[in-house]
Structure 1
Amino acid sequence: MIRIQTDVQNRKLTNGFMLTRVGVTDVKKPVRVTRGGRTTTLFCSIDVFVDLPSTQKGSHLSRNLEAINEAVSRSNKEEVAGIEVIAAEICRTLRDKHEYSTYAEVHMIADYFMERPGPSGKITLEPFKIMAKATSRNSDGLKKMIGVQAIGMTACPCAMETVRELYKGSVVFDDDLPVITHNQRNVATVMIEVPEELDVEANDLLDVVEASFSSPTFELLKRADEAKVVLNAHQNPKFVEDVVRAVLTRLLEKYTDLPDDVVVTVRSESEESIHKHNAFAERVTTLGDLRK
């Protein structure tokens, strides 16, 4: 058996620089989460990082994989409530294994599927993404975040009103009916920081996001369903900014029991149909600031 004694990573530097994050990215692992009596296997992509002091040549990357494997193995043997719990456990283990670190960070993202009723009431299985993040800093302790990403549809209110003005006097139409406008595929993301002792349901966050589009979108639509989606979206035109504000409003209504210092990040990006660029809006804030 060959014994390797040299530890290049631990070599001391005299003129080095501290590095904010060193780690591994895109580690693929299946994890099991159990919530509400239901167990689901999620196929996750995991990124983990720690900081590196100026005096040390390299980080011990194998310890990152050990931390991931230990948490994933435990989740497959015991009931774990969510990927944010796994992210928090990995984060704690990283700090233990990298004794020189003052900071650790973990990201997890997984495809997620939920049954949704379409416009006609027919149930379809719709794809989403769920995300988790955990950080551990000497000054702040451990923090965890749970998030979701959904794809919906927005109808532009600006073009709609411009077309309405152009129609006036030349076309007879019902003022109660929307007129034509251009549409966007909107990708909306919500991340919410929760104390370790509290949980937020990803399903609830998805409900909040989908209700904030001009219309949800669906994998399977028959012709009558397509018409309903288009009509619903045009009856509820929204800017990318409107989506963010609608999500923020619903978060306040939904989470009245969460403390003021909980951080929320809401992001909305519309993939434009008549431009070659996208439209983007974001708010990073606390529930306390929103409540003011």
Structure 2
Amino acid sequence: MKNAGSQNANPLLDVQNLQDHREIDLQRVGVSRVMVPMNVVQKNGNLQPVTAKATMSVGLGKAYKGTHMSRFISQLTEWSKDKHLSLDLQDFLAEAKERLKAPSAQIQLDFQYFIDKKAPVTGISAPMAYACRFDASLGATATDYDFMLGVTAPISTLCPCSKAISDYGAHNQRAEIRAEVLIDTQTPHPMIWIEDLVEALDTCASCPVFPFLKREDEKWVTERQYDNPKFVEDVMRDAIALLREFPGVKSFNLEVEALESIHGHNAWCAHQEENGARQENFVR
């Protein structure tokens, strides 16, 4: 009687490589919700360690029954140890295509990214967390490479109507700008850093949000909000105008959501554009 691990045992059947009779190509097959440590390149050239939630996939040809899940994990593990992440993931995807003998490959990475932010008056710095996303895909050739950078920036808004109708004060609240920008990967342009996009989105608010405030900082923030009232529509229009002129942005998706302080609901606005053309029927 042979042991289960005997060298003479018959090789295990590779079911994934069996032919599928339905002859249907699949666009994206892979792994999701994979937690992996990564290093992200910062604007100053340093590396920031992050914990990323990865979704990685490839196109699967109609001749194959399934893909090889372990190869995704192997590549993610190797890159987490030996490489770093930037806005150029083309080499990563080319390697995935080769490993899995696939016509296309995709990677989505969601992570918290910290930026040191100074208080407006005292200048005291503290880390501020931003939800970020890298979403890249590579097709049959190098020119079929797309990269999308996503950032959620916490901001604050003060209601113009509340200010206009009240004898004193106006309701204000935290809000979020969620921006996804598709970067032009075929035309030379300055690098778009997470830090640059966050700084630009902050200018669209009644006032930015800060991780650390002393009393003199809080006074500045309160007065800045009051002097700069904005609806979510105002924030959105400012963000649209900004991204239309942002070097290297091919298209973008935007959402603005105010976490209303006096209403039982939030105020929300959304917009998409591609090459300057407004997209209808935004689906959240």
Which TM-score applies when normalising by structure 1?
0.77
Instruction: Quote the RMSD (CA, aligned, Å).
Output: 2.8
Pairing 1:69–2:57 present: no
Question: Which residue number corresponds to residue 208 of structure 2?
Answer: 216
Alpha-carbon distance in structure 1 between the residues aligned to 2:42 and 2:172: 38
Question: Which residue number corresponds to residue 230 of structure 1?
Answer: 222
Q: Is the 8 A contact 1:67 1:94 kept in 2?
A: yes
Q: Is the 8 A contact 1:71 1:89 kept in 2?
A: no
Alpha-carbon distance in structure 2 between the residues aligned to 1:206 and 1:93: 31
Question: Which residue number corresponds to residue 150 of structure 1?
Answer: 153
- Deviations along 1:221-257, whole A, 9 cap, x unmatched? 23343232222112212222222221222234442xx
Q: How does 1:1-292 map to 2 (within 5 A)?
A: 4-15=11-22, 18-27=25-34, 28-33=36-41, 35-75=43-83, 82-85=85-88, 87-99=89-101, 101-125=102-126, 126-138=128-140, 141-161=144-164, 163-164=165-166, 167=167, 179-192=168-181, 193-195=183-185, 198=189, 199-255=191-247, 258=248, 262-289=250-277
Q: Give how far 1:287 is off.
A: 4.7
Alpha-carbon distance in structure 1 between the residues aligned to 2:100 and 2:44: 35
Q: Is the 8 A contact 1:68 1:90 kept in 2?
A: no
Alpha-carbon distance in structure 1 between the residues aligned to 2:257 and 2:23: 40
Q: Is the 8 A contact 1:115 1:123 kept in 2?
A: no
Q: Relative to structure 1, is the Cα distance of residues 181 and 144 closer, same or farther in structure 2, using a 3 angstrom cutoff?
A: same
* Partner amino acid, structure 1, of 2:185: P
The total of aligned residue pairs comes to: 265
SS of the aligned residue for 2:87 comes to helix
Q: Relative to structure 1, is the Cα distance of residues 89 and 183 closer, same or farther in structure 2, using a 3 angstrom cutoff?
A: farther
Alpha-carbon distance in structure 2 between the residues aligned to 1:205 and 1:275: 30
**What are structure 1's unaligned runs of at least 5 residues?**
168-178
* Partner amino acid, structure 1, of 2:120: P
Q: Give how far 1:98 is off.
A: 2.6
Alpha-carbon distance in structure 2 between the residues aligned to 1:276 and 1:112: 31
Q: Report % sequence identity.
A: 26
Q: Give how far 1:64 is off.
A: 1.2
